[in-house]
Each structure stands twice: as structure tokens, then as C-alpha cells.
Amino acid sequence: MKTMAGMIAAIFFFAASVSFAQSKGPKIPLSGKGMTGSAGVGFVDFLTVTPVGQFKMDRGIYAAASIERPFNFANLHLVLTISHMSANGEATYNYKKGATTFREDNLPFKAAMFDLGLGVKLKLIDNYWFRPYIGGGGLGGYHELTFNSTPNLTSQGTGYKTKDTVMASGYYGEAGLEVEFTDRFGIQLAARLSDYTSKTVETLASQRLQFRTETYYFSALIGF
């Protein structure tokens, strides 16, 4: 989290310096008035809020595609994002079916999370070849946990679940930098903090899963 705060502070300092330089130097003409698409990859770290001590995920992979459109005022842009996160982890498995409760501590699993995000991006400097920005918005998606089948779990019966799926929602905040090489091509470096809360997860004793993510990713930008 300290890394994220440091990056945001650096971007604001960078933006102030460039804003002064921009007022003194020539602007590079950009298309800027149409739609921009992006596709990127990166890594994500997870912090479990609840259930405490019963669920953890390792560093995972983040991939996303987005499209944005300017509001044409105040350097604001509307952003629609489709993203996927995957990671391995361990959980205290606790699933009740009828009179039987299946339980195992530290059961390995694989997580796959598919999200749709809608937010707003504020470009601190626009119409220039590099543009620091901040943004945020809402998230919603489909999250899937696939548990390993172990001899201990199998010995408890045959009615346990190896796969659980839930809907989750949350919000995010992001800071980053766009660098444009031509009117239609550029790159983006970004850091994102997100907060998620799921519906009740049957295999986690019907508890809600709440976790936070810290994501760093690189994207290619295409203007059209």
C-alpha cells in the first residue's frame, strides 16, 4: 500500500512540473476526441479482510481490456473495463450438506475472478504526449473457487463441493501515466487499489468473503 501512495504522490509532482513546462513549450497534436481502447497485463496482491485467518491468496495474474470515451469537459473520461484475475491459495474448507459437515484446514484452491468495471478517469494533463491521471469507479463480477480433492476430504463422504461460485461487488481507485507515441498508439502504466465483498460462500461456512487487491499493470493503448 505504501508503494501505491508513493506512486500517486510522484504522479502529482510530475503533473505539476509538466503543467508548467507545457505552458512554456509546444503541444503535440493528438486525436484525443474519439474512443481509446486498451489491453494489458500485470500482477495482483491480495489481502483478506474476512474471514480472518481462514482464507489467503498468493500473488496472482491480472489481465484487462478497456474502452474509454471523453466527456469533453474537465479532462474527464468514462471507462468501461473487463478484467480477469487468477491466483492460488489456501482456505479453511467448511461445507455443510444435510447432516454432514465437510471440513479441512489449509485446503489448496485456485481462484478465477471475472469483473466488469465502470468508472471515471481524470487526466491531470490532457493534449500532451504523456498524461498522468487518477480515477475510480465500481466493480462487479463472477468469482470461482476450485478446491483440491484430498484423501482427508474424501474420507468424510461423497457430497462435498470442489467448485464454488459467487457474485461479488466493490470499488477501485487508480493512478497511472499514459505515454502516447503517435495519434493512435501509446502505452499506460497503472497502479490500482480495489475492495471486494462477495455474497455468502457455501464452502467457507456460508460466510461473506471480503478482500482487497493491489494491482500493477502495463497496457497498450489504441485510439480510434
CA distance 4 to 205: 33
Grid coordinates given for 22: 507545457
pLDDT tens track, the chain, 224 positions: 544 445 444 444 444 444 444 444 333 333 445 789 999 999 999 999 999 999 999 999 999 999 999 998 889 999 999 999 999 999 999 999 988 999 999 999 999 999 999 999 999 987 788 899 999 999 999 999 999 999 999 999 888 999 999 999 999 999 999 999 988 899 999 999 999 999 999 999 999 999 999 999 999 999 88
Domains and CATH numbers, the chain: 2-24+38-223 (2.40.160.20)
Q: pTM to 2 decimals? A: 0.84
DSSP-derived 3-state class of residue 73: coil
b/e per residue 109-134 (b: at least 16 CB within 10 A): bbbebebebebebebbbbebbebbbb
